[in-house]
Chains A and B, each alone.
Chain A
Amino acid sequence: MKNLVEVKNLKKNYGLKEAVKNISFSIKENEILGLLGPNGSGKTTTIGMLLGLLKPTNGEILIDGKKIEDNRIETLEKINFISPYIELPKKLTVKQNLIVYCKLYNVSNIKKRIEYLVEKLKLEDLLNSVTGELSSGQKNRASLAKALINNPSVLFLDEPTASLDPEIGDYVRSFLESYKKEKKISILLASHNMNEVTRLCKKVLMMKDGIIIDEGVPEELIKKHGRKNLEEVFLKLSRN
């Protein structure tokens, strides 16, 4: 399996503050990598750089072999992002939003792509609803449809199930598992839900104070640190 995302010696300073300190990692094709860490550990800054929203102070990011800083538009065509902290325009219907993003991502067969996502995410009844009037779970499905609109090779997920009830959270996790299996995409999952990370991720990175303090397969990390589950490993590493 080739590396779809390669991060080499990545560093980000805000003035004198070092938010991310020389980190390196990669995400393979058809792999879900978990990114864990307490608030302020540098996760959001790292994702910001991976999305091209932040310019690294040092180091480089390659998406499918191409440097994001030199090929910003080309790499953005291959990636997408979902976070509960960003939303789709509230006054547009779900269908209008999807059409807009199809245009922005230059999707060739808009009708076919929307039909595919509508079927996959069970959006039939929501298509003509105003996005701002949807429930959290419905908004999440609409945002997922937007995040998959360009058939991305790499998907960045920032707490994708935060603010969702357990049933809808489970639906989203199952959907991501099956979609990854079908499309063989790479996913970076930043989450504070350790059960979610244990279920979805084959490998996790633990960040603290801008550095990767540990990484590995969840089960191995649990064994290595002599804990019962990933949450206890997280707490041990965060408090040290």
Chain B
Amino acid sequence: MSFIRIYGLFLRHFYLITRSFPRILDLIYWPSIQITLWGFISNFFASHTTYYNNAVGVILTCAILYDFLFRTSIGFNMLFLEEIWSRNFTNLFIAPIKIGEIIISLISTALIRALIGLVPAILLTSPLFGISILDLGIHLFFLFLSLYLFGITLGILVSAGLLRFGPSFENIAWSTMFLLAPFGCIYYPIEILPDFFKTIAYILPLVYIFEEARNILINNSVNFENILNAFYLNGVYLIIAISLFYYSFSKARKKGTLINIGE
């Protein structure tokens, strides 16, 4: 056994980590996010044991809604990354396809991908747990639409980062959703968050979507203000994301990332 060879292989991975800020960030925030998220969840259930009459139903419904968001966002990123992994990136960007056409095509495909995963999950919850997400009624459509818009917004933002910074941005692609999860108030109400976190949560559409989902299930009433707030914020973030994608494309053409990323 050669310790020099062992050290050599260690160095190969160590250099990789130290040369990429996204990789270092990736190592730091995963544990932090997990602890923060589960800390809030535990905290909430410890102090509000009677809050949910139907805890399983609410949690599972929110889990399905969150998964739809996750699948939409990751789906968009996966489609973009697929072009990099298959070394087809250059072929795509020398084809006469407009940036807007690329975005619309990926948005549509991401929806189909998310639905393929979502439908079996919805069908499973009924026989296994006696719960149906359809209890949210017609408002479910607005919640899904809002989540879909936010999911693709995140997907576009991450893809813009991939265009600008290249494949080293890939790790961010996988973890955006987890980074936002503690602020999204998916499994607990916003009241549980510290004030600083609340400020961040209120500028995200997620908190309005999940608050409304819980409101419908627990109080059997609809607060349209939450739904509208989510749509307003989604509109703003979507416009920012699309603008940033165009900006990143222009920057990538100046910096040469489109050539490096494609080979």
Within 8 A of B (CB), among A85-111: 85-91, 101, 104-106
Interface-located stretch among A23-31, A73-81, A170-178, A212-220: A73-81
A77-B96, A85-B263, A90-B86 are known contacts. Are A54 and B91 too (CB-CB below 8 A)?
no
B255 at the interface (CB under 8 A from A): yes
Chain B hits for A52, CB < 8 A: 93-94, 253
* Contact in complex: B95, A53 (CB < 8 Å): no
Say which residue of A14, A76, A106 sits within 8 Å of B94 (CB atoms). A76
Q: Which of A44, A83, A104 has most B Cβ within 10 Å?
A: A104
Given A86-B263, A104-B96, A105-B96 in contact, is the A53-B86 Cβ separation under 8 Å? Answer: no
Contacts of B89 in A (CB 8 A): 86
Contact of A87 with B255 in the complex, beta carbons under 8 Å: no
Query: Closest residue to A80 on the B side, CB-wise?
Result: B94
Please tell me if the beta carbons of B95 and A14 are within 8 angstroms of each other in the complex: no
Q: Out of A54, A79, A90, A91, which one reaches B259, CB within 8 Å?
A: A54
Contacts of A54 in B (CB 8 A): 253-254, 256, 258-259
Residues of A within 8 A of B82 (CB): 89
Min CB gap B232→A, angstroms: 34
Asked if B221 lies at the interface with its beta carbon under 8 angstroms from chain A, I say no
Flag whether B262 is at the interface (Cβ < 8 A): yes
Query: In the complex, A104 Cα to B105 Cα: how many Å?
Result: 11
- A53 and B96 contacting across the interface, CB-CB below 8 Å: no
B194 to chain A, nearest CB (A): 43
Q: Mark B223-263, 1 if CB is under 8 A from A, else 0.
A: 00000000000000000000000000010011110110011
A47 CB, min distance to chain B CBs, angstroms: 9
Contact A44 B259 (CB under 8 A): yes
B98 at the interface (CB under 8 A from A): yes
Please report whether the interface of chain B is mostly helix, strand, loop or mixed according to DSSP: helix
In the complex, whether A5 has a CB less than 8 A from a CB of chain B is no
Knowing A86-B91, A88-B88, A88-B91, the reply to whether A76 touches B255 (Cβ < 8 A) is no
Interface string of B79-99 (1 = CB under 8 A from A): 000110011111111111110
Task: Please encode chain A, from 55 to 85, with 1 for each CB lying within 8 Å of some chain B CB and 0 for all others.
Answer: 1000000000000000001101101110101
Instruction: For the complex, give the distance between the alpha carbons of A95 and B96 in Å.
Output: 20
Find chain B residues with CB under 8 A from A79 CB. Answer: 94
| CB-defined contacts of B259 to chain A, threshold 8 Å | 44-45, 48, 53-54
Q: How far is the CB of A31 from the nearest CB of chain B, in Å?
A: 21
A203 contacts B by Cβ under 8 Å? no
Closest to B95 in A: A104
Q: Which of A53, A76, A87 contacts B258 (CB 8 A)?
A: A53
The CA of A45 and the CA of B83, in the complex, are separated in Å by 21
Q: Which residue of B lies closest to A50 (CB)?
A: B94
Are A86 and B250 touching (Cβ within 8 A)? no
User: How far is it, in angstroms, between the C-alpha of A89 and the C-alpha of B262 when the chains are bound?
Assistant: 12
Instruction: Evaluate whether A85 and B87 lie within 8 angstroms (CB atoms) in the complex, with A53-B94, A77-B96 already known.
Output: yes
Q: Which residues of A contact B258 (CB under 8 A)?
A: 48, 53-54
Interface residues of A in 37-55 (CB under 8 A from B): 44-45, 48, 51-55
Tell me, in angstroms, the Cα distance from A87 to B88 when the chains sit together: 5
Q: Name the A residues within 8 Å of B255 (CB-CB).
A: 14
Contacts of B254 in A (CB 8 A): 54-55
- The winner among B82, B83, B258 for most chain A CB atoms within 10 A is B258
Is the CB–CB distance between B88 and A73 below 8 Å? no
B123 to chain A, nearest CB (A): 28
User: Is A141's beta carbon under 8 Å from chain B?
Assistant: no
A192 within 8 A of B: no
Contact A81 B88, beta carbon cutoff 8 Å: no
CA gap between A179 and B19 in the complex, in Å: 46
Cβ 8 A contact of A105, one of B86, B90, B95, B256:
B95
Shortest CB-to-CB span from B95 to chain A, Å, is 4
Q: Which residues of chain B have C-beta atoms less than 8 A from A11's C-beta?
A: none
CB distance from A120 to the nearest CB of B (A): 20
Is A146 interfacial (CB-CB < 8 Å)?
A: yes
Minimum C-beta distance from B102 to chain A (A)? 10
* Chain A nearest CB, measured from B257 CB (Å): 9
A51 touches B94 (CB 8 A): yes
Contact present for B88 and A48 (CB under 8 Å): no
Given the complex of chains A and B, what is the CA–CA distance between A55 and B82 in angstroms?
A: 25
> 17 interchain pairs (CB within 8 A)?
A44-B259, A48-B258, A52-B253, A53-B258, A55-B250, A55-B253, A73-B98, A80-B94, A83-B263, A86-B89, A89-B83, A89-B86, A90-B86, A91-B86, A104-B92, A104-B96, A146-B91
In the A-B complex, the 4 residue pairs with the smallest Cβ-Cβ separation, listed nearest first, are: A76-B96, A55-B253, A104-B95, A85-B263
